[in-house]
Amino acid sequence: MFLPTTKEEMEKLGWEQLDVILISGDAYVDSPFIGVAVVGRILEDLGYKVGIIGQPNLENGDITRLGEPKLYWGVSGGSIDSMVSNYTATKKFRNSDDYTPGGKNNKRPDRATLVYTNLIRRHFKNTVPIVLGGIEASLRRVTHYDYWTNKLKKPILFDAKADYMIYGMGEIAIREFTNALAKGEDPRKVRGVCYISKEPREEYIQLPSHDDCLKDKNKYIDLFDHFYQNNDPINANGLCQKVDTRFLIQNPPCDYLDEKEMDYIADFKYTRDLHPYHKPEGKVKCLETVKFSIQTHHGCWGECNFCAIGVHQGRTIRTRSEANILKEAKEFTTYKDFKGIISDVGGPTANMYGYECGKKLKKGTCDDIRCVDFDRLCKVMKVDHSRHLKLLQNIRKVPGIKKAFVASGLRYDFISADKKHGYEYLKELVNHHISGQMKVAPEHTSDRVLKLMGKPGKQPLIEFKKMYDRLNKEAGKEQFLTYYLIAAHPGCEEKDMHELKHFTKHELKMNPEQAQVFTPTPGTYSSVMYYTELDPVTREKIFVEKDTKRKEKQKDIVIDKSYYQRRKSGGASFQS
């Protein structure tokens, strides 16, 4: 049963007023992969009356269709940052949206979080608090570089004129925050909450002010260092930043879910479907991927500099139990439209399931060393694929499961580094869990660029490809590797793309048919590099390509242009 999205549904439940109304830039899809749906189920489980409005119409007062909530409005831009969803890396408008019924990109406004907040205040004067959440707000909680205006912007709470923000995954914060409001207590004491104050919090780390960041790029790097390093619930401090005459207060992050809590939330009765309210407008493409997929864990400690997962989800892995995951796989077989295929068994990085650094679990993430860097994997981090291997083998034994794919990204360097289980794990994947191709993400091959990206060097990729090719030959299969490649990352010049092209042709024995131009998104070190044109570690000047045509030229150097001609002429799919 869905949470209500119309007054008629509220009346059937006998509800006159909701406690919380959640607004999202996505259509209402009730899935454990959709943040707003998860928040709604958490609050429902606590006994609160919750409704969801997905992609409200901006012109006809649609935002009022559930009335005004008793406790607060929860506003999210959706599962994807609205600016990333709406524009390509070269700022061209995207025509499609996988979270919009019918697939046409005509429902998600630019800067959706700001638009929805203003929409609420237009129709409800002196309303209950407005609380921001989701990745769009979470990554903009302090001064941040905005690629689309090419300038530093204030923390989003100041531009949105909202009251609070719950940042990160926030499962525990949302419970404590809602309970505090319901009891008439001060929610500003809750971990994982941001708010605006007239006075600073002296006991918190004092970030460079917004004005300081505008005047000095080194100050902005200082700010981001503190922002990045204070994301772990075990060792993080609170943050305080002066913005004009007021202060952004970021409380330390809320605790992570443990395995029991992960299982509990996964057990909520999601319908795994699009709400009937939206169905007349068409299907949502995202359901093809997430409906029969299994999320095994949260977090990623890969720390690629262009990725914001570590800031939003955290750098510590939180896993579900094998028994709970197998239970979910068995439940899939009860759905009439389940064809025996599990689309994905994974997480942000699939092969991080089931192991973590013991030191990190006790003391929190390190500030002075990364778990993985260009030329080494931390010795304390013991890579171990045995638990994921066993899980995959057991899923294959579930009656009614024909195939369980691992479609999430994989760190090939971890497989090579796992001398005990890596070969057996990859053999399991090759024989049973991929369909013609496996996705890996070297992103580049220039050592200088890879270091700036926070990616491993070329050698692990060469070793992995040899292992992969050997296993496919032994299995009598012809399966390819799909390589994600990035052009125009800070530090990357045209000569680096020529080097990449040479490597893919002579070492990987393939001609890349796809590559993406780097997009500077908030919450990443790569975006800091793009704005400052400085290496954030050494503070030395680096080259940054900012001309759109030259960015496209970098991409064109490495890709097989005939691929696009074949696609345009209606040819079949090709290896990339």
pLDDT at 562 over 70: no
**What would the mean pLDDT of 11-28 be, rounded to a whole number?**
98
74 forms bridges with which residues in the sheet? Answer: 22, 131
Question: Residue 573 pLDDT more than 70?
Answer: no
Angle between helical axes of 259-266 and 35-45 (0-180°, round to 10): 100
Q: Is the pLDDT of residue 47 over 50?
A: yes
- Asked whether the predicted pLDDT for residue 404 surpasses 90, the reply is yes
Q: What b/e readout covers 353-390, taking b as 16+ CB neighbours within 10 angstroms?
A: bbbbbeebeeebbbeeebbbeeeebbeebebbbeebbe
Identity of residue 416: S
Span 439-464, pLDDT tens digits: 899 999 999 999 999 999 999 999 99
Q: Locate tokens 């971990």: which residue?
A: 191
CA–CA separation, 541 and 110 (whole Å): 33
Handedness of CA 213, 218, 220, 223 (dihedral sign): negative
For residue 563, pLDDT over 50 is answered with no
Nearest to 194 by CA among 161, 166, 175, 236: 166
In angstroms, the CA 482 to CA 470 distance is 17
- State the average pLDDT over residues 271-298: 97
Nearest of 269, 192, 313 to residue 37 by alpha carbon? 269
Label residue 561 by pLDDT band (50, 70, 90).
low
CATH no. for 7-200: 3.40.50.2300
Phi, psi of 542 (to 5 degrees): -130, 155
Q: Residue 368's pLDDT is what?
A: 81
pLDDT at 372 over 60: yes
Which one, of 310, 562, 557, lies nearest residue 444 by Cα? 557
Helix (H) or strand (E) run with residue 206 in it: strand 205-206
Instruction: Report whether pLDDT(215) > 50.
Output: yes
Residue 349, class by beta-carbon neighbours within 10 Å (0-12 exposed, 13-18 middle, 19+ buried)?
A: buried
Name the DSSP letter for residue 96: B
If pLDDT is split at 50, 70 and 90, which confidence band does 568 have?
Answer: low
Indicate the pairing of strand 516-517 with strand 29-30: unpaired
307 is in an annotated binding site: yes
How high is the pLDDT of residue 464?
94
pLDDT, tens digit (0-9, with 9 covering 90-100), for 461-479: 999 999 999 999 999 999 9
Torsion-angle region of residue 272: left (phi > 0), alpha (psi -120 to 50) or beta? left
DSSP 302: -
Mean pLDDT score of the chain? 94
> Is 95 or 369 the better-scoring residue by pLDDT?
95
Cα–Cα distance measured from residue 545 to residue 495, given in angstroms and rounded to the nearest whole number = 13
Q: Quote the Cα angle for 471-477-483, to 5°.
A: 75
Q: Is position 357 annotated in a ligand binding site?
A: no
Structure tokens at 193: 């909450």
User: Rounded to 5 degrees, what angle do the CA atoms 302, 255, 257 make?
Assistant: 75
At residue 72, does pLDDT exceed 70? yes
Per-residue confidence band for 575, with pLDDT thresholds at 50, 70 and 90 = very low
Parse the chain into domains and list their residue ranges: 7-200, 292-428, 436-576
Rounded CA-CA distance 547/550 in Å is: 5
Cβ atoms of 109 and 115 within 8 Å: the answer is yes
Take residue 41 and report the two structure tokens written for it: 């189920």
Question: Can you tell me whether residue 61 is helix, strand or coil?
Answer: coil
Query: Cβ(317)–Cβ(298) under 8 Å?
Result: yes
State pLDDT tens for residues 314-357.
Answer: 999 999 999 999 999 999 999 999 999 999 999 999 999 999 99
For position 373, what pLDDT does the model report? 81
Query: What confidence tens digit (pLDDT) does each residue in 253-268 have?
Result: 999 999 999 999 999 9
CATH topology (fold) of 292-428: Transcription Regulator spoIIAA (3.30.750)
Radius of gyration of the chain (CA): 24
Q: Which residues contact 70 (CB under 8 A, 6 or more apart)?
A: 17, 18, 19, 20, 49, 128
User: In the predicted model, what is the mean pLDDT of residues 137-164?
Assistant: 97
* Identical topology for domains 292-428 and 436-576: yes
Farthest-apart Cα atoms in the chain, separation: 69
183 falls in which pLDDT band (50, 70, 90)?
A: very high
Q: What pTM value is reported for the model?
A: 0.94
The annotation status of 371 as a binding-site residue, yes or no, is no
For residues 458 and 435, give the distance between their C-alpha atoms in angstroms, rounded to a whole number.
25
Return the pLDDT at 327: 98
DSSP assignment letter at 569: T
Q: How far is CA 199 from CA 186, 246, 248, 333, 474, in A?
A: 16, 7, 9, 56, 67
Is the pLDDT assigned to residue 80 strictly greater than 70? yes
pLDDT band for position 564 (50/70/90)?
very low
- Closest by alpha carbon to 479, among 468, 487, 490, 488? 468
Q: By percentage, how much of the chain surpasses pLDDT 90?
A: 92
CATH class of 436-576: alpha beta
Q: What is the mean pLDDT of residues 32-60?
A: 97
CA angle 552, 556, 561 (to 5 degrees): 130
Q: Which residues contact 365 (CB under 8 A, 6 or more apart)?
A: 229, 231, 232, 234, 235, 301, 315, 316
